[in-house]
Amino acid sequence: MAAPKILIPFYSRTGTVEALALAVAEGARSAGAEVRLRRAREVVSPEIIASVPGWKQSAEAMNAKYEAPTADDAVWADGVIFGTPTRFGSMTSELKAYIDSLGGLWAEGKLNGKAGSAFAGSSQMHGGNESTVISLWNPLAHLGFIIVPTGYADGVMFAGAGSPYGASVISGHPPAGPSEAEIAVARFQGRRVTQVAAKLMAAA
Ligand SMILES: Cc1cc2nc3c(=O)[nH]c(=O)nc-3n(C[C@H](O)[C@H](O)[C@H](O)COP(=O)(O)O)c2cc1C
């Protein structure tokens, strides 16, 4: 059977969710996946970006490393693992803009039956990581994804990091991390979604 193809579209402004995305990719590859890592692009005006110290520079540095996610990437994938920082307990507008660009695929049912999963970052321990992952499950359901949570399906889930909904990073302020335990959950999520995608491919 062909290797499962895993797309990881993420948004990150200061690098912590990027680090988690890299760990998810590592886990997916370790389970045999071919991986595409993509960074959602800014959607606010240059004036707003310029008003936040370092935003322009970090966006340019990350955009030089990662292509923007496209609808074709989602069609290509057997599984999609979305990653986002928390914005007031929900996903970023940047990642949401990518999801909203998939409306044509929704109309054609092109994403039906693919594995879908989500991970998040927040600055506070109770700052909304879990609700942010679950906020991603809403559009995943509409798009027809088979939603894959991390559950307590591996020993790494008992080390006090992540959540049964998906991997997470608690970055603090200024942002730092992720910890080794948070990285371990992210790697597990990459492995698990790859394994589920392979089973869905075999069953199709
Ligand atoms: C507009 C805005 C809203 C935010 N809302 C929350 C929040 O509700 N809870 C929280 O813990 N952190 C919140 N944060 C902090 C970010 O989620 C945190 O810095 C982020 O996860 C860092 O990810 P990154 O380094 O990948 O950009 C917010 C940040 C911004 C800019």
What is the average pLDDT value for the chain, to the nearest integer? Answer: 96
Q: How confident is the model at residue 172 (pLDDT cuts 50, 70, 90)?
A: confident
175 lines ligand 1 (CB under 6 A): yes
Domain boundaries, the chain: 5-203
pLDDT at position 48, please? Answer: 96
Q: Which of 13, 123, 183 to mutate to test the pocket of ligand 1 (most atoms within 8 A of CB)?
A: 123
Work out the average pLDDT over 90-114. 97
> Any idea of the CA torsion for 144, 36, 84, 57, to the nearest 10 degrees?
-150
pLDDT at 1 over 90: no
Q: Which of 122, 169, 183 to mutate to test the pocket of ligand 1 (most atoms within 8 A of CB)?
A: 122
Rounded Cα–Cα distance for residues 29 and 180 (Å): 18
Backbone angles phi, psi at 147, to 5 degrees: -75, 130
The long-range contacts involving 55-59, CB below 8 angstroms and separated by at least 24 positions, are 55/13, 58/13, 58/14, 58/15, 59/13
129 lines ligand 1 (CB under 6 A): no
Could you tell me how far CA 2 lies from the centroid of its own chain? 23
Q: Is 5-203 a domain of CATH 3.40.50.360?
A: yes
Q: Tens digits of per-residue pLDDT, 34-67? A: 999 999 999 999 999 999 999 999 999 999 999 9
Taking the CA of residue 52 as reference, the ligand 1 atom at the shortest distance is 31
DSSP state, residue 184: H
pLDDT at position 122, please? Answer: 96
Backbone angles phi, psi at 6, to 5 degrees: -115, 125
Query: For ligand 1, atom 4, which residue shows the shortest CA distance?
Result: 87
Rounded Cα–Cα distance for residues 153 and 43 (Å): 36
pTM of the model: 0.97
Work out the average pLDDT over 173-178. 82
Work out the average pLDDT over 70-86. 98
Q: Tens digits of per-residue pLDDT, 115-155? A: 999 999 999 999 999 999 999 999 999 999 999 999 999 99
Taking the CA of residue 127 as reference, the ligand 1 atom at the shortest distance is 11
